Amino acid sequence: MNDKERFSQVLVDCLEGTLQQSDIRTRIEKPKFAHLGDLAFPCYELSKIFRKSPQTIAEELAQKLASPEFEKVEAVNGYVNVFLKKSTVSTMVIRKILNEKNEYGTSHIGENQVVTIDFSSPNIAKPFSMGHLRSTVIGNSIALILQKCGFQPIRINYLGDWGTQFGKLIVAYKMWGNEDQVKMQPIKELLRLYVQFHEAAELDESLNEQAREWFKRLENGNEEAYFLWSWFKDESLKEFARIYELLGITFDSYHGEAFYNDQMEAVIQQLKENCLLVESDGAKVVTLDEYSLPPTLIKKTNGTTLYATRDLAAAIYRQKTYHFTKSLYVVGNEQALHFKQVFAVLNKLALPWQKGLVHIPFGMMLKDGKKMSTRRGKVVLLEEVLNEAITHSKANIAARNAEIPNVDQVARQVGTGAVIFHDLKHFRQNDIEFSLEDMLKFEGETGPYVQYTHARACSLLRKGDFQEGVEIASFNDDSAWEIITLLTEFPTTIERSLKEYDPSQIARYVLDVSKAFNKYYGMVRILDEEQKQVRLSLVYSVTVVLKEGLRLLGIEAPERM
């Protein structure tokens, strides 16, 4: 229980049930200035209930409030201001972290409910670009946060392994492809063919018609089309596996769009039985006028299915297979309309579980202010960025600490961590400008800065021969108060990031803890013998929270850098 929780609990008793504890907790503020206390509760809304002035209510509450954790309580301008007893609170939070270690911040609010989370989902036969990074790292972090809060996440990589683009690729390969070149550099060669197709199709529209025809053959099980498609897919999965291993990300399911091919007709039949499928210019659609949405296209005039058809089949399959409470889709902002339509169709089918479907949108990764485009060849390859980040990190680490053991492992942790953190420190719905230089800085608001702070704290524990498991009698160091107050906020930061599906709150939090610790490190002689073990208990608490906070972002925390 953090300071806000305890304060709200005491206020509930004093207000004799006038307000719920959750309502009180949301009203509690942190004063801008230290002389106004550590926590403040505004009484303005209570004046209508008690028919007294806010200041009078504040004065009456101040007289009633009592807790061994409160040093002083004041009524100022309609606020109840509380000054916490620093020694009591500090000792309490450090003891809690020493006892719970990496379980600190864990909650059971999820009650082991299943949540499927669809993220990453790159297209096969295309390179894994920086444009795919956002869904991958945001989704992975949300899955880790769900687990921390007691849910059972099912990680789904819904591969883009079907659609007209494969008709385009087959046409391109048959016209300009070379088997040996594809085998030598599969993804780069397939990308070259894909770009060449689009350039040629701008001059010759018949190529698009050929592509549609080849995809129709693929859907109908044509042997040549299926062979080429399978080959393109196998080569892509090898590359994806290498990148996911670098990022330390795993999935429970790799069922892509093609997996649902034999389930489409059942969905179409279900829509027919519910009298939802109507004809429009030869195509089959579901109208959504009552939701103020355009119709959802289910089947094209040539009989081929679409993204919406497959997403409907996927949602139904996932519910039958996993019995989820919620199903999350970590997909870019530009797909917002698509998901509104899919969710609306499922609602019209009167499926009660559709209320648990949530689209978690995010902004784009931009290059020079513009969206990256595979079809025009304007992409930055994620694997190249990761390898460059690792190489840069290795040089930087060697310059700081030439004798560091396992330098390759640490360089990988720091390099990949830098790329991940650069993404996750931004609110997910904001666009991000790609900047390798900004990602790799060891100072400022970066992943390496947080990792280096953790490593510095670990170094202090080694030098001071910190004895883990020895309980402290009391902690009394006012200069550490900023760190203490931040440490108490870790559990609520996790829960807030879950509620808002926003890993950036944890990223900003570990930055704040790092800044506060480095300020403390510069002010206090931590290894001074008289207070050494007590102060090291605080340092240890910082390492626990930084390591766990980074883990929830999908980033490792090396102990030496």
User: Are the CB atoms for 271 and 262 separated by under 8 Å?
Assistant: no
Nearest residue to 293 via CA among 347, 344, 354, 358: 344
Which helix (H) or strand (E) segment holds residue 169: the answer is helix 164-176
Confidence of residue 297 (pLDDT cuts 50, 70, 90): very high
Please report, in angstroms and rounded to a whole number, the separation of the first and last CA atoms in the chain.
34
Q: What is the reported pLDDT for 127?
A: 80
* N residues, the chain: 561
Rounded distance between C-alpha atoms, residue 398 and residue 501, angstroms:
37
Specify the CATH number of the domain 3-84: 3.30.1360.70
Listed by start position, the domains of the chain span 3-84, 119-371, 382-552
Are the beta carbons of 237 and 256 closer than 8 angstroms? no
* Residue 77 predicted with pLDDT over 90: yes
3-state secondary structure 463-524: HCCCCCCCCCCCCCCHHHHHHHHHHHCHHHHHHHHHHCCCCHHHHHHHHHHHHHHHHHHHHC
> What pLDDT is recorded for position 392?
92
- In this prediction, residues 54-68 reach a mean pLDDT of 92
User: 26 exposed, middle or buried (CB, 10 Å; 0-12, 13-18, 19+)?
Assistant: exposed
Beta strands in 62-139 (DSSP E): 70-76, 79-84, 114-118
Tokens of 269: 């039949």
Provide mean pLDDT across the span 264-272. 94
Cβ-Cβ contacts under 8 Å for 512 (sequence gap 6 or more) = 486
Contacts of 255 (CB under 8 A, 6+ apart): 156, 158, 159, 314, 317
- Cβ within 8 Å of residue 449, ≥6 positions away: 441, 442, 443, 511, 514
CATH topology assigned to domain 119-371: Rossmann fold (3.40.50)
pLDDT of 375: 52
> Could you tell me the CA-to-CA distances from 130 to 110, 198, 237, 367, 386 in Å, in that order?
32, 21, 17, 10, 10
Strand 114-118 to 326-330 pairing: parallel
pTM of the model: 0.91
Mean pLDDT for the stretch of residues 154-163: 94
pLDDT band of 1, cuts 50, 70, 90 = low
pLDDT at 374: 54
Beta strands in 90-164 (DSSP E): 114-118, 152-156
- Listed as own residue / partner, the contacts of 383-389 with beta carbons closer than 8 Å and 24 or more positions apart are 383/128, 383/239, 383/242, 383/243, 383/246, 385/130, 385/419, 385/436, 385/439, 386/243, 386/246, 386/247, 386/415, 386/416, 386/419, 388/436, 389/415, 389/416, 389/418, 389/419, 389/436, 389/439, 389/440
Residues 6+ away with beta carbon under 8 Å from 403? none
Structure tokens at 473: 């009698």
CA distance 488 to 90: 9
Cα–Cα distance for residue pair 435/450, rounded to 1 Å:
19
Over residues 148-163, mean pLDDT = 95
Q: How far apart are CA 185 and CA 242, in angstroms?
A: 15
Distance (Å) of CA 302 to CA 95, 212, 282, 299, 311:
68, 9, 9, 8, 20
The 8-class DSSP code of residue 253 comes to B
DSSP-derived secondary structure letter, 298 = E
Report which secondary-structure segment, H or E, holds 64: helix 54-64
Rounded alpha-carbon distances, angstroms, from residue 247 to 253, 470, 555: 17, 36, 8
Segment 471-501, tens digit of pLDDT: 888 899 999 999 999 999 999 999 999 999 9
Beta strands in 126-238 (DSSP E): 152-156
How many other CB atoms sit within 10 Å of the CB of residue 333?
Answer: 13
For the domain made up of 382-552, the CATH class stated in words is: mainly alpha
pLDDT band at 361 (very low <50, low <70, confident <90, very high): very high
Instruction: Work out the percent of the chain whose per-residue pLDDT is above 70.
Output: 98
pLDDT at 372: 66
Helical spans, DSSP H, in 307-434 = 307-322, 336-348, 382-400, 407-424
Give percent of the chain above pLDDT 90: 74
Please count the helices (runs of H) and the strands (runs of E) in the chain: 22, 13
- pLDDT grade for 412, boundaries at 50, 70 and 90: very high
Q: What is the pLDDT of residue 552?
A: 98
Cβ count near 556 (within 10 Å): 18
